[in-house]
Amino acid sequence: MTAGIMSALAGGHRQYKHPRKRGRVTVSGHPSDEVHPRTLQSVLTKSMRYAVVIESGSQNFSAYVPDLPGCIATGKTLDEVLANIRGATEFHLEGLRADGLPIPEPTTRWEYIEAS
């Protein structure tokens, strides 16, 4: 089992709880069946996809996450701003968790339209 994750058994069901994060994962099946640690960890950490807006300036790029107010990044290149906004997003979410604040669900949607 993944280190730090608590579990409980009830018949053929196992329930896992992360020691610091809210939520539980219930696995149904034979108690001797193993759940791969990466599978369990990915479910417990609940990966979310946030939309990112990238804007081009005269000397650099900037990016922000509309669903995470205050989460912004800059970079000299597109690759750099993408790496920086990924890091900023993770750091922003860690700060929300540390403050006991809810993690906003991604709600922003985007589409490209053609105009002439």
Phi, psi of 9 (to 5 degrees): -120, 145
Q: What mean pLDDT do residues 74-88 have?
A: 92
pLDDT of residue 97: 86
User: Is 64 a residue whose pLDDT tops 90?
Assistant: yes
**Rounded (5°) CA angle 70-48-114:** 75
Sketch the domain layout of the chain as residue ranges: 6-45, 53-98
- pLDDT reading at 84 higher than 50: yes
pLDDT (mean) for 5-26: 58
CATH number of 53-98: 3.30.160.250
